[in-house]
Each structure stands twice: as C-alpha cells, then as structure tokens.
Structure 1
Amino acid sequence: MADYFADASRRVLLVAAAGFDPRSRRVSQMLADTLGDRLSAVFIREERPGASDALIQEADTNESALRIIVQKCAVLKVDVFADDGAPVGGSRIVSLLGQQPVASDVTDVILDLSALSIGIGFPVARMLLEDCEAASNRAFHLMIVSNPEMDDKISSVPSSRAGAVKGFSLPVEADDQGLAQVWIPQLTRGCTSALTQIGAAIGRCYKICPLLPFPARNPRRADDLLSEYRTALVDEWEVDPRDVVYASERNPLDCFRTLSTLKTRFDLTMKGTYEPRMVLSPVGSKVLAAGALMAAIEHEMAVQYLETESYVFRPEPTPTDLPDMTVHLILSGPLYAGYDRAAGPS
C-alpha cells in the first residue's frame, strides 16, 4: 500500500467515520504518513438519539485528532433518525456527499468502513463506486481495520424498525411467478433479537442460510456463535445444517465469492419456476460485510438491516486482545482497464 500511494501523482480523498470507535483514526494516520498534503478527507459523524455522554466525548476526541491528522478535511454530521424515529441516515449522507463533488485532480477515493455503520457505509460505498466508474480514470478503494475481539466489546441497542438499506431495497415481485426467497443473516455476538426482528420483516423464506466466520482468528468463534444462536437456528428459523455458510474472517473476497456462487446456483435452480431473491443481513464483522457489499452490488441483492439507536462500548483491555488486521481492496479504476467481468481480461 505504501508503494502505491508514494507515487507523487496520487491525489487521494478519504471518506471515513469520526465516531467513538478507536479504529476511526488508524487508516487516516497510515495514509497521512505516506501522502502528506496530497490527502484530503470527508469525515462522517453519525448522530444517534441514545448516545451516552462518554461515547460523545470519545467521538469529540477522535474528531479533533482527525482534523489534525488530515488538515484538508470536512466533517459532515448526520442525524441517523428522523423526528418520528424512522432511519434516514443513508438518504441524508448521500444528499450531503452529493453537495461536495470530488475534486477533478483526485486520482483515488478511499472509503474506510472500519467505524461506519452498515446503514451509512453501504449507501456511501455505492455512491462513490458509481462516481469513480463514471470518471473512468479514478480508482475506488475499500479499507477496513478489523479486530473481532474489539467488536465483541461493542454492543448495540437496535431500533424497532427493520428495513432495507438505501440503494439495496427489495425488488418488486413479478406477477407471474411465485417468490423463492433466501435470507443470509451474518451471525455475530449479541444480535439474536435484532436478527429475529429482521427475519420477521423479511417474511417467509424458502431457505435461511446463516453466515459464520470460518476460518477465524479464534478457532472456536463459529462454534460459540452456533451455541449462542441455537434456539433461533433450530426452533425459529428451522435451519438445515447443510445450509450454513462459512467465509473467512480475514478475507472479504472469500465472502464475496461464496455469496456469488450461492446466487448463481440458486438462480439456475429456480429459473423458469420461481422468482429467486437473495437477501443479505450483514450485522457483524466489517470484513464479512465488505464481501456482502460487493456481492450485493455485483448481483443486485437486497440488504435488510436494523439501525442502531445507541452503542455500549467497554474498552477495558483483556487477556484475549489481539492486534488489528488491515484489509485493502481496489474495486474499480485504471488497474481494471481492459477487463470485462463476463469474458475476463482482454
């Protein structure tokens, strides 16, 4: 990564979170160390009604630090909920970013998903990807600082309204065919009730295929999640053990390929008989969520989500703490010139 951005011709725009998560600063600092004044940024501050004073103070500290790390920056504050409690953060951030067009000399746009929520990060990713593809000579990157052990220290209080993420809505059902719907919920610690609400909002499913992190840094993580979700898996969702899906906790491309293969096979199986629909619910690891994001964009899959009203963060160090892992993906740009998705490289 350092070699790529060390090129003096690179002008980079970073879009990232300015929240309470300690990972908020990592990518900004790494890029600033290499790019210097060739880096500009837009930092997104997600405002939630139930945020505690302690988390607001942490976010204020991170925002101040980010303004020092990247001096050419703007901070966009986004109210995630409307006055009536409806989740509107995705629509609002797309509107705000639309008022700040990317400068013509920017060669690379980077979205740091590390500390952005799914309801904000996914619409922003789709918008920036389309903008970069329209520019043709501008690359679009995803970066993630992942730490599953840190994720376990952050719990959320979900809202009561499950719905589609902006830009990833459920398609209109065809009139002449029955619907065969497959739901792929990403299992993560402490989200049983949230996923149950999402499943109820989706409705009847032909199959439910839970997504588990394996291989994982903690070899027992998948087993622990299966134990935690046992009642939901067996009694509520009636999941066939053969339908459980596994994807690497470290590599979003593994998740992308797995979901793409499932989509292709399911479409072929249902062709001419039922209307196939695949719905994703990425609520855990951002690495797996990035794979789900790519699959949703590539195959026009729906993403159903339950927005978070507030978070609880327990930052105290524990003996199981491990170092952060950094993931860097280039999704579009000059590196892919001459590449046709269907035919392969020309």
Structure 2
Amino acid sequence: MSPMGEFTTEDPLSASRRRWIDHVVGRVDGRFGFGFEEILGAGVRPNVPSLYVMGLGFDPRATVAFDVAAPALPKGSRVIAIVPKATSSGESRESAFQRRNQEHAQAIAEKHSLDLEVVQPNPGALDTRFHGVWLVRELRERQEWATPHVVVDISSLPSAIFFALIRAFLDEGADGRQLQVAAAENHWLDDLILDSGTLAPQFLPGFNLHGSLEDLRDEGTRIWVPVLGHARQAQMEAISSAFAPHEICPVVPFPAPDPRRGDSLVAEYGELLFDTLEVDAQKFIYADGSNPFDLYKVLLTISGRYSTALEPLGPTIIVPSTHGSKLLSLGVLLGAYEADLSVVNAGAPTSVLDPESTDGTIRDLAEESRPTCLWLAGEPYEQWPHRTLRQTPLQEATGVQVSEGQER
C-alpha cells in the first residue's frame, strides 16, 4: 500500500479545484444520462456552421461516429479529415480499408451538405509524433479555427495528433466556443490493430515539462502510470528502461464492456509487471473504461497525494503513458492537462490489422462500436471553477442537472 492509501476517484481536498468535476457525456445507449446525438446537437450554434475534425486512417471505426454526428451538423459545416499516414494508394490490406473510409466519409459529407477536406499533416516528417504540432500551426492560420462549435473525433486519430489539437483548443479558451470530443469505442477492435516496432520513448509535444526522459533518471521520485492495452509490451519495456521509475501504478479498465478485460490485461503483462518490474499489486488503478473523466479524476488524486506525501524527499515526477483505448487515452490527456503532467509515448512506426482476422470480422466489430460524445468546454462549464453549474438549454429541456458521479 502506498503512503497515500488506496487510490480512489474521490478526493475532497482537490475536488473543488477540478475543471471537470461536473461533466457532460453522451453515448448512443444513454448510459451516462444523455444520448450521443443529444449532446452533440446541444453544442451546435443556431445557423452557424460547425467544425468537425476527424481521422481517416485504416481503422474501420474512422467514420462510425461521423455517420451519427453528420445529421446533427448544420449544412455547410467544415469537416477536416486527417490522414495520419499516406497508405491509400498502396496495395496493402490497410490501404484498402483507408480508401474505403475515405469514400464513405465523402459520401456522408455529400449526403448532409458538409464541406469535407482531406489533409495529410507534415508528409516529410520522420517522427509522426510531431504531426499534431504541425497540424495545430496549420489550422490556426485558417478562418475555421475560430468556429464556435468544434468536434474532434478521435476514433481514427493517433494520440500525438489529438493530444495536440485538444490542448490547443483548451488553451485558447475562446469565449463562447463549444468544444466536444467524439469517439467510436470498441476494445475488441483495439486488440486487432497491432503495432510493428517501437519508437524511442519521448514526451509528447505540448505535454513535456521535463525535456527528455534521460534528464530525469537522477531527479526526484519518479512515478509511472501506464494505461494498459493489448500487445504493447515492447513499448512498456522501452519506457521503463528509459524512465527508471521508483513506483509503477498500472491502470486497467474496470468496469469495462468485457467484465474480464482487466483480468486478461493483468495476465498478459503478469511476468513483466510482477517478475521484472516488481509492481505491488495494491498499486493497480481501476478506471471506467468507457468514461475518460473517471481516469482524469484518478490522475488528479494521484498527483496531489503523491506530491504531498513525498514532498520531504524532493520533487515528485508523475508520468503517465497510454497504451490502451482512445477513451482512456483521453482521460490521460485531461488529467495531464489539469495537473501539469508530462506524457511519455513510445508508439510504433507502423501498425497493421491482425492478419488472423477476416475483413468481415473487423467490419462487424466496427459496426458494434458505441459512439461517445464528451463536452469539454462551453456552456456546461461557464461557472467553472465554481461547482454549481447554471442550467444549459440541454438541461432545461431534459430536467437533468449534470453532476459528479452521474456516470455511475
């Protein structure tokens, strides 16, 4: 047991300072009190085009959330579709999926009178982790950057891109801007997208307070918070070697759509975590795999308690890394943004679809994904940092007051 005691999502000492202590989440099945289209539609500004930013990689979920969101967007809204890597012209299986995604996205845009543009960020970059920084600089020069309603669909966007994009929108804090994030989540499909190779670990641009990992090897007390995901052992080994943490607090999804998801991940990494890294079983963190705000709260709790308990020993350096789902990655982003944490990444140069799974199986799993919409800035948070929120038009219409714990 750590000196801070058991980690929970409730921390009364820091709760009043949390940006998202009250939050708004919608999912197609209404699990969080609202539907996906209900939340997205409430963010639309009357008679004003929206901006929808999405990925168009080979991930078969690329257009799942967009297909649901498009009817709610005003006609003439801008859609910027980002191709993380140019593979659509090749002959590979991944190229075929990417071409299909691009054709489907164009058909959806035409059906709903949306203006779609395909963008490939920084084609000459050797390290794709800088794509997000390049894209932010590019989009800031455009008129649509000031759009009052922005949706970032992370379903098929790498973390290096959506971390930079979402941080940039949050940093600007434009008056009246409604910032929402959409994602089509399905961890069974996550397991069928396999990384090939491992990049040298480094902090993500925009989430780097410490220079390099090597600079920290002799600094303070180092705490590593890896979010576990299937088949990412090489990445975790690389980060552990470069960071040399004093303590490790692995994050597993619980609850999750698959009740055994957490157990299977612990079993997969058992030898690395328990035999090699000697992780204390009581240091494991359980966060709702479907609600990023749960992991966000946990990261704030860990940051506050570790820093307080270890203050006599010098600086405490807490570094999360994300190897799991897009929603848990978003939880890392939000927690790191508010707690001023560096985020380490050891992604892969290339990724492929599981060769043992058929195209039909992969497409069927994509169709079973559940789109989720999270509202990060705008009307629901106009009273932040005060804990009492005013009634938004959405809440007035439904009679529901958004409050902490609503997702349970």
| TM score, norm. by length of structure 2 | 0.76
SS at match of 1:88: helix
Taking the TM superposition and a 5 Å limit, the aligned residue runs for 1:1-346 are 1-2=37-38, 3-4=41-42, 8-47=46-85, 53-70=92-109, 71-79=114-122, 82-83=125-126, 87-102=129-144, 104=146, 106-131=147-172, 133=173, 135-171=174-210, 179-202=220-243, 204-314=244-354, 315-317=359-361, 321=365, 323-340=368-385, 343-345=386-388
Paired AA for residue 150 in structure 1:
L
Q: CA deviation at 1:172?
A: 6.0
Greater RCO structure (CA 8 Å; 6+ sep): 2
| Structure 1, unpaired ranges of 5+ | none
Assess, with a 3 A threshold, how the Cα gap between structure 1 residues 94 and 199 changes in structure 2: closer, same or farther. Answer: farther
Question: What is the alpha-carbon distance in structure 2 between the residues aligned to residue 16 and residue 286 of structure 1?
Answer: 13
| 1:220-244 deviation line (CA, Å, top 9, x unaligned) | 1111111111111012211001101
SS at match of 2:184: strand
Q: Is the 8 A contact 2:194 2:352 kept in 1?
A: yes
Question: What is the alpha-carbon distance in structure 2 between the residues aligned to residue 164 and residue 126 of structure 1?
Answer: 15
Assess, with a 3 A threshold, how the Cα gap between structure 1 residues 235 and 23 changes in structure 2: closer, same or farther. Answer: same
Q: CA deviation at 1:10?
A: 5.0
Assess, with a 3 A threshold, how the Cα gap between structure 1 residues 7 and 127 changes in structure 2: closer, same or farther. Answer: closer
| 1:153-210 deviation line (CA, Å, top 9, x unaligned) | 11111333111111011426999x95111101111111111111122222x2121011
**What is the count of residue pairs matched by the alignment?**
337
Q: Is the 8 A contact 2:318 2:342 kept in 1?
A: yes
Question: What is the alpha-carbon distance in structure 1 between the residues aligned to residue 123 and residue 199 of structure 2?
Answer: 14
Q: Is the 8 A contact 1:140 1:330 kept in 2?
A: yes
Q: Is the 8 A contact 2:198 2:234 kept in 1?
A: no
The percent identity for this pair of structures is 24
Q: CA deviation at 1:144?
A: 1.1
Q: CA deviation at 1:127?
A: 1.2
Q: CA deviation at 1:98?
A: 2.6
Paired AA for residue 125 in structure 2:
A
| Structure 2, unpaired ranges of 5+ | 1-36, 390-408
Q: CA deviation at 1:38?
A: 4.6
Question: What is the alpha-carbon distance in structure 2 between the residues aligned to residue 62 and residue 109 of structure 1?
Answer: 21
Higher percent of residues as strand: 1
Q: CA deviation at 1:92?
A: 2.2
Question: What is the alpha-carbon distance in structure 2 between the residues aligned to residue 212 and residue 245 of structure 1?
Answer: 6
Assess, with a 3 A threshold, how the Cα gap between structure 1 residues 294 and 36 changes in structure 2: closer, same or farther. Answer: same
Question: What is the alpha-carbon distance in structure 2 between the residues aligned to residue 80 and residue 164 of structure 1?
Answer: 21
| 1:263-312 deviation line (CA, Å, top 9, x unaligned) | 11111112243201111111211111111110011111111011322122
Paired AA for residue 202 in structure 2:
G
Q: CA deviation at 1:36?
A: 4.4
Q: CA deviation at 1:126?
A: 0.7
The CA RMSD measured in Å over matched residues stands at 2.7
Q: Is the 8 A contact 2:295 2:331 kept in 1?
A: yes
SS at match of 1:156: strand
